[in-house]
């Protein structure tokens, strides 16, 4: 009887061990599945643009591109893939294969944000120059077509303005016909357009000629260790300016109710 009872107890313990082990494996499997599902459900925003949006390391700090600080504008479901590169125009970005690199990675449900204009106007540089209502639009359309072929959603952003003021303290537009050409293309192709030219110039007017310096790379001699001789740059943002521009982008995403994105804004 004792031997039978002992065997029964051993069998019962074995069943409990198997049951616990199976439960642990099931929990781990469910946890793994949940992680994969969460990853698969992420939406990426790929940024194609120039130096006003691109990433900068510590050696260039506090110079910061607005896309470099766009991630915190969203919850964890949105991931920013910043492919913007200094010095590029809508033409040179394509000619160097950078759009192809994005299209090789981008997936359905993702977004392609497209902002060019600063370097497209450089008529003395044939590698970058485009004409607003002809070649500029035709190059931008390649981004739109490429995104749509991959089942992703293109969004156009007019170029952020440089810091320029009239004698009476009014912010000046610095991109000629390029913003209007982009907006025209947006209407023709039924693509959302975030008008950062307009939003940025409104911001500069609010801050005025002196206050707006705090957005840009303006430092006196000896004020910052990375720029010991000082710098007066009216094109590139310091971190404060990049964050304010990123906030304007987020506000426009909310205002335009861009699908999948506006509902994941963190603010």
Are residues 55 and 65 in contact, defined by beta-carbon separation less than 8 angstroms? Answer: yes
Provide the annotated active-site residues: 51, 229, 236
**DSSP secondary structure, the chain, as one string:** -HHHHHHHHHHHHHHHHHHHHHHHHHHHHHHHHHHHHHHHT-EEEEEEE-TTTS---GGGTTB--GGGG-GGGB-TTEEEEE---TT--HHHHHHTTHHHHHHHH--TT-EEEEE--TTTT-TT-TTT---IIIIIHHHHHHHHHHHHHTT-EEEEEPPPPP--B-TTS-B---STTHHHHHHHHHHHHT--EE-HHHHHHHHHHHHHHHHGGGGEEEE-TTSBTTBTT-EEEEEEEBHHHHHHHHHHHHHHHHHHT-TTTGGGB--
Q: What radius of gyration, in Å, describes the C-alpha atoms of the chain?
A: 26
Distance of CA 222 to the CA centre of its chain: 32
Q: Which two tokens stand for residue 201?
A: 């110039």
């Amino acid at each position: 009887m004792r031997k039978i009872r002992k065997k029964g107890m051993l069998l019962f313990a074995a069943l409990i061990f198997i049951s616990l082990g199976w439960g642990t494996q099931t929990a781990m499997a469910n946890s793994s599945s949940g992680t994969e599902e969460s990853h698969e459900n992420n939406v990426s925003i790929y940024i194609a643009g120039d130096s006003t949006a691109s990433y900068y390391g510590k050696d260039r700090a506090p110079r910061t591109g607005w896309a470099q600080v766009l991630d915190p504008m969203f919850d964890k479901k949105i991931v920013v893939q910043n492919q913007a590169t200094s010095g590029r125009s809508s033409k040179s970005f394509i000619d160097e294969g950078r759009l192809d690199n994005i299209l090789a990675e981008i997936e359905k449900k993702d977004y392609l944000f497209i902002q060019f204009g600063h370097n497209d106007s450089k008529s003395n540089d044939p590698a970058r120059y485009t004409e607003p209502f002809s070649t500029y639009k035709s190059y931008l359309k390649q981004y739109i077509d490429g995104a749509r072929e991959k089942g992703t959603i293109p969004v156009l952003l007019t170029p952020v303005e440089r810091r320029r003021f009239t004698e009476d303290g009014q912010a000046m537009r610095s991109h000629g016909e390029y913003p209007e050409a982009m907006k025209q293309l947006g209407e023709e192709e039924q693509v959302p357009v975030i008008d950062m030219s307009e939003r940025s110039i409104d911001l500069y007017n609010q801050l005025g000629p002196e206050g707006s310096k705090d957005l840009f790379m303006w430092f006196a001699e000896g004020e910052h260790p990375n720029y010991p001789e000082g710098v007066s740059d009216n094109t590139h943002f310091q971190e404060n300016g990049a964050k304010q521009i990123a906030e304007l982008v987020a506000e426009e995403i909310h205002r335009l109710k861009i699908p999948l994105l506006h509902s994941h804004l963190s603010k």
